[in-house]
Amino acid sequence: MIAMRSGLILLCVLLPFVSPKASPRQLKCLVCKSLVEEIDKEVAKANPEHTIEVGSYRLDTNGDKRQRKIQYARSELHLSEVLDSVCDKFEDYVQAAYKTNHQPMIFKIVGDNGQMNPLMSEVDITPDDDLNKSLKFYCEALVSEHDEDILRLFAAETDNLDVQLCSEHAKVCEQSLSSTFDTEGGHEEL
């Protein structure tokens, strides 16, 4: 009886420090949004002055080639290269929950600058049995299933890429474009 009571007291004391584990659907949504951020970062790293010629090398009826120059960063070639390696970045991500509202999230432990992520003080890391390999798996599944959508959306440089990809195409998030903006100022509610 005393052992059960002390176990119950210990559970009540430790329960507030255990982060709730995100559902697989929540994780897929979080991974999708982070995937969009990672691709955006890679596109931004490309030299904006670097262009490539795209189009047909065949002659049309007037004897002209139908080619045009486009920015390399948004080309199918560059975006395909990015998609080949972007999911490897998810090996550096962990699951966590905000300390204030216990909202699940994922983030990189070490930022792109090599420093510890400042979010570490604002979150509780969620223990994960598979050492967060599911994050990379979810990313690879998204890229594999939606590679054409990803290439098209990023090549077109459209707005709200995360909503378009994750909600409209992959359907792993519940937010739609119509709920992205409020009626007054056009601010995002993400």
Query: Read out DSSP for 61-96?
Result: TTS-EEEEEEEGGGSHHHHHHHHHHGGGGGGGEEEE
pLDDT computed for residue 157 by the predictor: 85
CA distances from 145 to 27, 30, 50, 165 (A): 17, 17, 29, 12
Q: Which of 30, 11, 12 is nearest to 21 (CA)?
A: 30
Tokens of 180: 């992205």
d(CA 38, CA 54): 25
pLDDT computed for residue 81 by the predictor: 96
Predicted confidence band of residue 64 (pLDDT cuts 50, 70, 90): confident
Write down the mean pLDDT value for the chain.
83
Q: Tell me, what amino acid is at 106?
A: I
The predicted model scores a pTM of 0.78
- Answer yes or no: is pLDDT of 130 > 90: no
Range in 1-10, 79-88, 101-110 the model is least confident about: 1-10
> Tens digit of pLDDT for each residue in 29-56?
999 999 999 999 999 999 989 888 877 6
DSSP E strands in the chain: the ranges are 51-59, 65-71, 93-98, 104-108, 123-125
**Percent of the chain at pLDDT exceeding 90:** 61
Contact 53, 68 (CB under 8 A): yes
> Tens digit of pLDDT for each residue in 137-172?
999 999 999 999 999 999 998 899 999 999 999 999
Q: Which of 181, 144, 177, 139 is nearest to 161 (CA)?
A: 177
Tokens of 109: 């432990």
pLDDT computed for residue 115 by the predictor: 94
pLDDT computed for residue 20 by the predictor: 64
d(CA 155, CA 151): 6
Spell out the residues 6+ positions from residue 90 whose beta carbon is closer than 8 angstroms to its own. Answer: 31, 34, 132, 135, 136, 138, 139
Give bridge partners of residue 188 from the DSSP assignment: 181
pLDDT computed for residue 8 by the predictor: 35
pLDDT computed for residue 59 by the predictor: 67
d(CA 128, CA 124): 12
